[in-house]
A and B are shown apart, each in its own frame.
Chain A
Amino acid sequence: MSTDVKTATPSSQDIGQHPNPNGIKLPIYMDNHATTPMDPRVLEEMLPYFMEKFGNAASRNHPFGWAAEEAVELSRERIAKLIGATAKEIIFTSGATESDNLAIKGVAEMYREKGNHIITAVTEHKAVLDTCKHLEKLGYRVTYLPVQKDGLVDLDDLQRAIDDKTILVTIMAANNEIGVLQPIAEIGKMCRERGVVFHTDAVQAIGKVPIDVNKMNIDVASITGHKLYGPKGVGALYVRRKNPRVQLVPLIDGGGHERGMRSGTLNVPGIAGLGKACALAQEEMPQESCKMAGLRNRLKDSIMSRLDEVYINGSWEHRLPGNLNISFAYVEGESLLMGINDIAVSSGSACTSATLEPSYVLKALGTGDDLAHSSIRFGIGRFNTEAEIDYVADRVVETVLRLRELSPLYEMAKEGVDLKSVKWAAEAH
């Protein structure tokens, strides 16, 4: 490999100092669970709705309104088709957090007379967990199911947790940190048998793995645009209309848009983009998921064949094709990110979070805090290439090796010291 090739001129500080023989554009974006870049075909679909077709989809009396409404209804159909639903079952929102709030609070309030018990899991997104915590303050009872070492919910735990006061089970389809896919179909079946509404936060899964609301007995599902190469600020909620019909109390009252479940003038360009993103996903998912898994496996193999004491977090088998979450023992995550600063990824290290706590998802798996601090999440997406994967693997390996030389823990482990038995003079912070 040539080491003297000077390449692209990246904007941020001190990027581009590393050998880059393949003409890769730096920095590389590999954080596709945080957000995805928009597909140019999506942008193209959206553009007319900012200027020439600017109408309000609720304007029934003129062509401006009709054009907007047409775009909205096409989007509804495209989203519905991707998840096996009907267009009338799709409600537009501002994004995943609103969808999760509307689903959980809306069901909780609507079914309050039937019961006050909600079941979720400890590895859910904060949009679900914090909504549940809010409901606890209002007198609801919430069971937070633990997960197994591989990140999966134990179905027997769920079966035992459901009681005659249970009105809602909310379990995500795919985890945003470790990419683990929950047994949604089995959970859906169980909920249907017990007469409990089943909501799934499917934002990471939709467009990446097949989701079918009927085959999986999903009653309510959260969707967002920007995780599947669509725009930010737009999302949707699937709400089952029959067998059984699910009803929600709205969070936002007003003009009665979206069958009264979500008032507010529709974000037509965003909605058009979300629909197009779903249509593209529908068409390309089979090939794309193979490509993602191939790139992901290439990255994993390249790293793990050259480094020891690297641990995969969460189930390898039940996982999003583009997700790789690994811990590099003896190396702290933020320092690793600093060393690979021409690559955009995330870490479960406390130092990278606002709370100074390491990832609660990894802790729930029983990963020690030390390994949680050492974790990196790679989120491979539609636009990543093999050359980028190889570059990322090389940079990660060289940085981990360098930081291990700097690590007293690595030195102690090599000397045969059992790090678990050391009495650390910890400075609590």
Chain B
Amino acid sequence: MSYSDKVIDHYNNPRNVGSMDKKDADVGTGLVGAPECGDVMKLQIKVNPQTNIIEDAKFKTFGCGSAIASSSLATEWVKGKTIDQALEIKNTEIVKELALPPVKIHCSVLAEDAIRAAIGDWKKKQQTAKPAEMHAAQ
């Protein structure tokens, strides 16, 4: 398997590697894939609740070079976007950017899933946090 220069670059210099506090109300965490399938991605976003803009993103990935590159790219792309804009990122755009071969398309699908899962987690936190805040305000 030969890799595109962009995949190699992300593999050698992955962007935004790391972890954020899962319990932080402004942080959304997506954990997708399974060890048995050979791919697990953890993608986290930190969202400004006033603007809904993703101010930071971090990832860790267990998987092949294409999986690492897809999630690394995903963190780059979501940063600075609003939640709604981030939800518009399609796996096909990742495939195109990284020139992934057909057998690696599932890596891009997983990255898109990771973005959605992180946003889903953040949204859930917003909904559960609100009643608590109201309660605190009373």
A425–B17 touching, CB < 8 Å: no
A408 engages B31 (CB within 8 Å): yes
The segment from B35-43, B76-84, B127-135 found at the interface with A is B35-43
Q: CB-defined interface of B7-41 with A at 8 Å, one 1/0 digit per residue?
A: 01001101001010000000000011111111111
Known: A14-B8, A429-B106. 4 other contacts (CB 8 A): A369-B36, A369-B37, A407-B60, A408-B41
The 6 nearest A-B residue pairs measured at CB: A426-B34, A424-B34, A370-B35, A408-B42, A369-B36, A334-B64
Residue contact A411 to B19, C-beta cutoff 8 Å: yes
Interface string of B94-134 (1 = CB under 8 A from A): 00000000010010011001000100000000000000000
Q: Which residues of B contact A14 (CB under 8 A)?
A: 8, 12
The answer, among A334, A405, A425, for a CB contact under 8 Å with B65, is: A334
Is B136 engaged at the interface, CB distance under 8 Å to the other chain?
Answer: no
B110-A407 in contact (CB<8A)? no
Question: Chain B: interface secondary structure?
Answer: mixed
Size of the chain B interface, CB-CB below 8 angstroms:
34
**Structural contact, B37 and A332, CB atoms closer than 8 A:** no
Q: Are A335 and B64 in contact (CB under 8 A)?
A: yes
How far apart are the CA atoms of A140 and B19 in the complex, in Å?
A: 57
Say yes or no: A427-B33 contact (C-beta < 8 A), given A352-B1, A406-B14: yes
Whether B68 pairs with A406 at a CB distance below 8 angstroms is yes
A344 within 8 A of B: no
Q: Is A338 an interface residue (CB 8 A)?
A: yes
28 A-B pairs whose Cβ atoms sit less than 8 Å apart in the complex: A13-B8, A330-B62, A334-B64, A335-B11, A338-B8, A338-B11, A338-B65, A349-B38, A351-B38, A351-B64, A368-B36, A369-B36, A370-B38, A407-B40, A407-B61, A407-B62, A408-B31, A408-B41, A411-B19, A424-B35, A424-B40, A425-B31, A425-B32, A425-B34, A425-B113, A425-B117, A427-B32, A427-B106
Within the assembled complex, what's the spacing in Å between the Cα atoms of A351 and B3?
Answer: 13
Cβ contact within 8 Å between A332 and B64: yes
Residues of B near A334 (CB, < 8 A) are 1, 64-65
Contacts of A427 in B (CB 8 A): 32-33, 37, 106, 109-110, 113
Binding site for B on A (CB under 8 A): 13-14, 330-332, 334-335, 338-339, 349-352, 356, 358, 368-370, 373, 405-411, 419, 424-429
Evaluate whether A338 and B62 lie within 8 angstroms (CB atoms) in the complex, with A408-B41, A427-B109 already known: no
* Alpha-carbon distance A220/B21, docked complex (angstroms): 63
Give the one of B19, B36, B42 with max A CB within 10 A: B36
**Contact bitstring B54-68, A, C-beta under 8 A = 1, else 0:** 000000111111011
Which B residues touch A409, using CB under 8 A? 35, 40, 62
Contact B38 A350 (CB under 8 A): yes
**Residues B38 and A332 in contact, CB atoms below 8 Å apart:** yes
Docked complex Cα distance between A373 and B113 (Å): 21
B106 to A, closest residue via Cβ: A429
- Bound Cα distance A373, B81 (Å): 35
CA distance A13 to B32 in the complex (A): 32
Chain A residue with Cβ nearest B63: A332
Nearest CB in chain B to that of A420: its residue: B35
- Nearest CB on A from B97, distance (A): 18
Q: Which residue of A lies closest to B38 (CB)?
A: A373
Contact status A406-B36, CB under 8 Å: no
Bound Cα distance from A419 to B62, whole angstroms? 13
A373 to chain B, nearest CB (A): 4
| Min distance, Cβ B105 to any Cβ of chain A, angstroms | 9
Q: Inside 8 A of A410's CB, which chain B residues have their CB? A: 62
Please name all residues of chain B whose beta carbon is closer than 8 Å to the beta carbon of A339 when the two chains form the complex. Answer: 11
Interface centre among B31, B65, B106, B117 (most CB of A within 10 A): B65
Closest to B68 in A: A335
Q: Which residues from chain B contact A13 at a C-beta distance below 8 Å?
A: 8
Q: Within the assembled complex, what's the spacing in Å between the Cα atoms of A165 and B6?
A: 59
Q: How far is A338 from B66 in the complex, measured between Cα atoms in Å?
A: 10
Complex alpha-carbon distance, A214 and B14, angstroms: 58
| B residues less than 8 Å from A405 (CB atoms) | 17
- Tell me whether A369 and B19 are in contact in the complex, defined as CB-CB below 8 angstroms, given that A338-B3, A407-B62 are known contacts: no
CB distance from A207 to the nearest CB of B (A): 31
